[in-house]
Amino acid sequence: MLLVCRFVVAESETSSFVARVRHALELLTAHPGCRGGQLARSTDEDSRWVLVVEFDSVVAYRRAMSGFPVREHVMPLLSEALTDEPAAYEPAMSASGGTVDEHVSLVARDAGTVRLGEAAGPAAARGEPLHGAQGE
């Protein structure tokens, strides 16, 4: 599970922004299931930043986001991210050492149609691996 948030930060706010992201990364990466995170600055536009945090699963992501310190410090920061695209992504492929693994979605096929209170868990994943390979 990836959390990807893009920011536009004025030069005068850079120090404060970086300090807030440092604290957010400390809080998030302290949670079990958080693999790590990065803050990166654009090499083309100084005001553009991206925060990427990787979690073991959607459950680990939701648990990390539910604690009071995270709601108090991280959520306000994330609310400043650009909102013209989604921020949470589920891996479709991962690669290491020249080997590519494809992953089955953990999101239910009917996730876009189920209303609040109706979902009990995915009965069928929204998609099979891209080429029939086994993944996690």
Pick the range with the lowest mean pLDDT from 20-34, 46-60, 77-91. Answer: 77-91
- The letter for the amino acid at 35 is R
Distance CA 107, CA 77 (A): 27
Distance CA 108, CA 115 (A): 13
Pick the range with the lowest mean pLDDT from 54-58, 100-104, 118-122. Answer: 118-122
DSSP 41-56: E-SS-TTEEEEEEEES
Contact 42, 27 (CB under 8 A): no
User: How many helices (H) and strands (E) would you count in the chain?
Assistant: 3, 6
What integer is the mean pLDDT of 30-37? 94
Q: Is the pLDDT of residue 135 over 50?
A: no
Q: Is the pLDDT of residue 131 over 90?
A: no
Distance CA 58, CA 67 (A): 15
- pLDDT digit string (tens) for 35-64? 999 999 999 999 999 999 999 988 899 999
Q: Which alpha helices (H) appear in the chain, and where do they start and end?
A: 14-29, 58-66, 68-78
Domain spanning 2-89: CATH 3.40.190.10:
no
Domain boundaries, the chain: 2-89, 92-136
Q: Whole-prediction pTM value?
A: 0.74
pLDDT for res 136 = 44
